[in-house]
Amino acid sequence: SSGITQSTGDEESIRTAAQIEIPGPLAQIPVRELHSSQEFGAFLLTSLQELGKPELLSFEQVKKIKILPESAAFSVENSMLTPTFKKRRHNIRKLYHSELYGMYEGFN
């Protein structure tokens, strides 16, 4: 797995798909603005770590995340997905090279 996922759709279906109870103030942030909220990023990272604790070893746990803006959604048109909606990992790595390597700075 490339570690990159995406979600598209209306706000209610995105929030329902997450299956995480989002606390009051964070729940008020429009989906299109979540990528720029440090508070939401911290909340999401903590939630993912809590979900993984029972089943994952520490080296398997999520350590960092990057939330991309909706305009960065993967599609067939921008060559991030194949016509059968599989990720084009090479294209994704090429486009997000600096973000991906930046996430691993400080890890050995």
Segment 39-89, tens digit of pLDDT: 999 999 998 999 889 999 999 999 999 888 888 889 999 999 999 999 999
pLDDT at 95 over 90: yes
**7-41 pLDDT, tens digit each:** 445 556 555 555 667 888 888 888 888 899 999 99
Supply the pTM of this predicted model. 0.68
Q: What is the distance between the alpha carbons of residues 95 and 51, in angstroms, rounded to a whole number?
A: 29
Contacts for 33 with CB less than 8 Å, ≥ 6 apart: none
Q: Is the per-residue pLDDT at 4 higher than 80?
A: no
- pLDDT bin (cut points 50, 70, 90) of residue 108 is low
Distance of alpha carbon 81 from its chain centroid, rounded? Answer: 16
